[in-house]
Structure 1
Amino acid sequence: MPLPHLVRFDWAMKRLLRHKSNFVVLEGFLSSLLEEKITIRSILESEGNKDDFTDKFNRVDLLAEDSKGELIIVEVQNNRELDYFLRMLYGVSKAVTEYISEGDLYEKIRKVYSVNIVYFDLGQGTDYVYHGR
């Protein structure tokens, strides 16, 4: 008897999200996880979001927003990275700077959350869900 083909969550999520009509599935997951109404704004092209050729890639998979206008960046990561927490910090910092315009007051900086679905041990905590600050 052949083994069934297993479908990975990241593959299923990206395939499902190719159609905006399916955003409600992930919006429901994120709303439950964050206990806040979440709306997906866009799927981000992770390899094409460099502002300058010297800039690092910001491998965020999608951008969402909560009911207070705060931003949520979501990334699915399969490969272990030793500096993953620094990469998360970079992604959040990039989102902060992309959503404020020249001339805007700094009080207009929007709070940004980073949701990372990873397939490796982050090396901290004892549960499947980590809340860092």
Structure 2
Amino acid sequence: MADKPLISFDYAIKYILKNKGDYEIIERFISTLLQTQGYPPVTINALLDSESNKESFDLKRSIADLVVQDKDDNKYIVEIERSFTPNFLHKACFNSSRLIVDSISGNQDYTSIKKVFHISLLYFATQTMKSPLYHGQTIFHEIDTTHPVNVKIANQGLIMFETPNVFPEYFIISLPRFNDQVQHELDEWLYMMKHSEVLPSFQSPVMKKVAERLAVIHMSNEERNTYFAYLKEAVHSQDVLLAASEKGKKEGFEKGLEKGKIEVAKALLQSGQTIEFVAQMTGLDEKRLTVLKDTQKTP
């Protein structure tokens, strides 16, 4: 990663948010993502000074917590994080819940909750993930129907209260799953995030600025050293994830092998073979085979 022309986008987010003149880069990325779900473009209204933002090198926390605003003055909280753990959905749920609680001061009513958009940048892919982009949200349905409904509640005075769209929405971006085919603006962002590179053919109006502001060569020595320290920590986290994955594969193989031995032993015992013979063929303990044989007897 250190030899790529641009700094990695997850680090770049913190880097860019230090200068209000660069906000348009993050605004364009968030707006492009939200527009896939029909939301209008947004601008950054404020940065949340949460515990997440204070932990520069703790990759377990979020990269940025922002308050954004659309043209109709609707305000939302956007949380962006990078994840190295397969439990990223649990982490996303925890962090979005924490943000909701943290955004309410002690004297505020919980109805002041702002909607949260959670964006997870994954630099790994699971076997079940076939696409680079996933979206999730909470939707209420009438029982036994598949049609989403707006929940309306009436009090005893028949005053109607319609629940606003307050539930968090989640965007999961698995960069390794992107196929490098650029057809839309969002594809340009995915390509840039995956390869840390902006192609000359990109059409997004901010990509030229992205190429200029995120160029490693333009960083000061201090900024470059800080970035390389971040990359080192990122590589370490990836190694931990890979080790855990390999351990899981090994444990799964061993469990499968053990199950196969038991199935073979059952078949041999049912065919009338002696426990001693079955033990020789399968490597299973004779005491265990005795118990297995007893469980196969018809009462």
TM-score (norm 1): 0.74
Q: Which amino acid aligns with 2:33?
A: L
Which of 76, 94, 111 aligns to 1:70? It is 76
Query: 3-state SS of the aligned residue for 2:29?
Result: helix
1:9 correspondence with 2:9: yes
Cα offset for 1:108? 1.6
Q: Which amino acid aligns with 1:95?
A: L
Q: Deviations over 1:67-118 (max 9, x none)?
A: 22121111133xx213211111111011100111224222222211101112
1:43-122 equivalences in 2 (<5 Å): 46=52, 48=54, 59-62=61-64, 63-67=66-70, 68-77=74-83, 80-122=84-126
Q: Which amino acid aligns with 1:107?
A: T
- Contact 1:39–1:65 (CA under 8 A) maintained in structure 2: yes
- Contact 1:38–1:64 (CA under 8 A) maintained in structure 2: no
Query: 3-state SS of the aligned residue for 1:131?
Result: strand
The 3 A distance-change label for structure 1 pair 42 and 122 is farther
Aligned-pair identity (%): 25
Distance of 1:12 and 1:91 partners within structure 2: 21
> Over the residues paired in the alignment, what is the CA RMSD in angstroms?
2.7
Q: Which amino acid aligns with 2:82?
A: V
The 3 A distance-change label for structure 1 pair 16 and 99 is closer
5+ residue gaps, structure 1, are 50-56
Hey, which of these two has a bigger chunk of helix by percent?
A: 2
Q: Which amino acid aligns with 2:26?
A: L
5+ residue gaps, structure 2, are 138-299
Cα offset for 1:20? 1.9
TM-score (norm 2): 0.36
Distance of 2:92 and 2:121 partners within structure 1: 11
Q: Which amino acid aligns with 2:9?
A: F
- Decide which structure has the larger Cα Rg and report it: 2
- Contact 1:46–1:58 (CA under 8 A) maintained in structure 2: no
- Contact 2:67–2:75 (CA under 8 A) maintained in structure 1: no
After TM superposition, the structure 1 stretch with the greater mean CA deviation from structure 2, 59-68 or 10-19, is: 10-19
